[in-house]
């Protein structure tokens, strides 16, 4: 089952990326990686790109999976709450351009800080439960992929997508759209890793919850249905 999942991940990412690249090749400008919003806009933005729209969608799916874990796997609730809060903070960060433009300047920072404060307080107050849940889970493929995605999103893409780097590489032929394209595609693969890690974490959290002691009534109810065995 696990092998089939990873084959599906590979084919899904490859197909999705191929569709995006073919969309731009067949209809140049379709990805809208460099859009000028008005006569006063001299830099341009990639916030209207399908890539930028896909990323919050991925985070939304991750958030729903963490909510499911928090509801159905009580022992993993502290970890699910932490990662769910991070997914929500990522979504707010991805919407910073529109929040600044249509709500208030730096409003996304206030929302992100509020979410971060809730997550920090909850995790600190449940630090013992968090430690127990983490020790039950680690090491695991899900957490490893989540870590890889975080490294790409928080560190790698910020350094590789740094504008002075591309100005130094391209010199007088520098075009901002090249920097934006590289940055957005790298960021997308980071979110793909985050999604796969979330799915794998959900599978493992479900497996742990099924192994935990259950009340007698729950065991009787479970006995009425065929048992399914297998690795998570």
Per-residue pLDDT tens over the stretch 37-58: 777 777 778 888 888 889 999 9
What does the alpha-carbon distance between residue 141 and residue 211 come to, in Å, rounded to a whole number? 19
- Measured from the Cβ of residue 56, the count of other Cβ atoms closer than 10 Å reads 18
| Structure-token pair, residue 40 | 């006063």
**CB-based contact 198:142 (threshold 8 Å):** yes
Q: What is the pLDDT of residue 79?
A: 92
Spatial CA neighbour of 58 closest among 158, 180, 146, 137: 146
Cβ atoms of 35 and 50 closer than 8 Å = no
SS3 state of residue 30: coil
Q: What pLDDT, on a 0 to 100 scale, did the predictor assign at position 231?
A: 47
Provide the 10 A C-beta neighbour count for residue 138: 11
- The pLDDT value given to residue 217: 41
CB-based contacts of 176, cutoff 8 Å, min separation 6: 34, 43, 44, 163
Query: Looking at residue 64, what is its pLDDT?
Result: 95
Local structure of 227: helix, strand or coil: coil
Residues sharing a CB contact under 8 Å with residue 100, sequence separation 6 or more, in sequence order:
106, 107, 108
Query: How many C-beta atoms lie closer than 10 Å to residue 192's C-beta?
Result: 21
Distance CA 132, CA 149 (A): 24
3-state secondary structure of 33: coil
Which structure tokens are listed for 1? Answer: 């089952």
Q: How far is CA 115 from the centre of its chain?
A: 16
- What whole-number distance in Å separates Cα of residue 48 and Cα of residue 98? 10
The segments of the chain whose pLDDT lies below 50 read 216-218, 228-232
* Residue among 211, 207, 163 at smallest CA distance from 183: 163
- At 216 the pLDDT is 42
Task: Evaluate the CA torsion angle 12, 16, 17, 22 in order and state its sign.
Answer: positive
Question: What's the pLDDT score for residue 208?
Answer: 82
């Amino acid at each position: 089952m696990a092998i089939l999942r990873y084959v599906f991940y590979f084919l899904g990412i490859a197909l999705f990326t191929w569709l995006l690249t073919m969309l731009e090749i067949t209809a140049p400008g379709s990805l809208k990686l460099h859009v000028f919003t008005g006569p006063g806009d001299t830099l341009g933005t990639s916030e209207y790109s399908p890539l930028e729209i896909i990323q919050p969608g991925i985070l939304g799916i991750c958030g729903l999976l963490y909510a499911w874990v928090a509801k159905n796997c009580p022992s993993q609730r502290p970890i699910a709450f932490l990662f769910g809060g991070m997914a929500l903070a990522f979504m707010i960060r991805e919407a910073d351009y529109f929040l600044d433009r249509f709500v208030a300047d730096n409003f996304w920072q206030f929302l992100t800080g509020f979410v971060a404060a809730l997550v920090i307080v909850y995790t600190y107050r449940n630090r013992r439960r968090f430690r127990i849940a983490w020790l039950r889970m680690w090491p695991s493929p899900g957490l490893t992929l989540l870590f890889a995605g975080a490294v790409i999103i928080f560190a790698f893409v910020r350094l590789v997508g740094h504008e002075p780097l591309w100005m130094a590489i391209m010199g007088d032929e520098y075009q901002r759209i090249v920097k934006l394209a590289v940055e957005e595609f790298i960021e997308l693969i980071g979110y793909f890793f985050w999604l796969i890690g979330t799915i794998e974490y959900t599978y493992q959290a479900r497996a742990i919850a099924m192994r935990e002691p259950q009340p007698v009534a729950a065991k009787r109810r479970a006995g009425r249905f065929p048992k399914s065995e297998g690795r998570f």
